[in-house]
Chain A
Amino acid sequence: MLTRAMALAPGESARAKAEGKTLAMDEESFRIVYERTARPLWAYLARVSGDPALADDLLQETYCRFLSLSDPPQEEAHRKNYLFRIATNLLRDHWRAIQRHGETAIETADIPSQDHEMANVPLRSDLGRALAKLKPRERQLLWLAYAEGASHREIAKTSGMKEASIRPLLFRARKKLLALIGGATLETEKA
């Protein structure tokens, strides 16, 4: 098990640099992409999964898969959509694995725990509690549409659903969410 403050040993760092050539981009470019995209991606994973620790694992796995692409998207919006699509697929795989075996699909043995930091994450807002009562697909749709401002086409691409079905599903999900939240809470939370 690694510690959170773990740094790469000098030899390991050199080897990692050498092997970095097999990845989709160099470390500096990756850092820039990561800084720009990781926070909204983490928020999406945390809200949709309802589990910050899982969001942490899936976030790392998302970037690992992104880096393993032979030709990753260069355009920023396209890249962001691609990352969200990978994350959505990982979430789906995770839920399927739980349904099948009652265990997680992601290997977590080499991932440091950040439980102490998770305590400060505002996951238990009224919105968070209401979202937790919705189906995973409804949470995905709502988050992509209202938090990410994704168009129906982008949502369809990310979630693997038909574009035409997004609108009615989104409408129903919104109505369910509002019924759970209540109009009064909506106003106080915004204030």
Chain B
Amino acid sequence: MMKHKGCENEVRILEALGQGVATEAMEEPLRRHIADCASCAEVVSVYELFQYDSEQLCAAAPLPNAGRVWWRATLAARRAAAERALRPILIVEKAALAIGSGVLLALLVLAAPWLAEQVRHSNAFTGNVVYSFPLSSFIVTSVVVCLLLMAGALYTMWAEK
């Protein structure tokens, strides 16, 4: 009955061994089969070898103290709680950045024709502009201030990361 998967009884034998049933305590037909089947005998030998090795390893295992593992878990829980608490602030920060960017972009689009006009008539800046277009000047100043604030905010976020 040996195939590339081994003998069909291997699973039964392994399950019995896994449940703590010794070879000698197995049912008579299964015991007889182990004696006749090379593959199943191999399974028992390998099982015993691993059990022996596992016992040796378990006995010598330099386990970390349970208190230390507990302490580490509380630290991790504390860190996770802090992250959870900061999450809304981060969301608000990102939302503010997105809204600010949108507003800035809208302002730039709205002010673009006026800016192009000013560039075309650059001499207008020297004299009358301040008196002729006080609102536009105010918009330009606001845009510049916004840009500077955004650069500052971006730098602060980058520095924190």
Contacts and interface: CB of A to CB of B under 8 A. Distances in A.
Interface of A: 6-8, 12, 15-16, 19-20, 22-23, 27, 30-31, 34-35, 38-40, 42-43, 46-47, 52, 56, 59-60, 63-64, 67-68, 110-112, 114, 117-118, 120-123, 125, 127-128, 142-143, 145-152, 167-168, 171, 174, 177-178, 186, 189-190
Interface stretch (B4-12, B103-111, B136-144, B153-161): B4-12
B113 interface: no
Contacts of B125: none
B13 to A, nearest CB: 11
15 contacts: A6-B68, A19-B78, A22-B77, A42-B57, A64-B73, A67-B73, A68-B77, A110-B75, A117-B62, A142-B50, A148-B54, A152-B11, A167-B11, A168-B5, A190-B49
Contacts of A121: 57, 60-62
Contact of B5 (A52, A127, A143, A171): A171
B60 A64 contact: no
4 closest A-B pairs by CB: A149-B18, A146-B50, A117-B62, A43-B57
B70 A177 contact: no
A67 B58 CA distance: 23
Interface string B45-81: 1111111111011101111101111111111111011
Given A20-B74, A23-B73, A118-B62, A167 B49 contact: no
A60 B72 contact: yes
B71 A16 contact: yes
B117 interface: no
Interface residues of B, number: 46
Most buried by A among B6, B15, B80: B6
A46 B5 contact: no
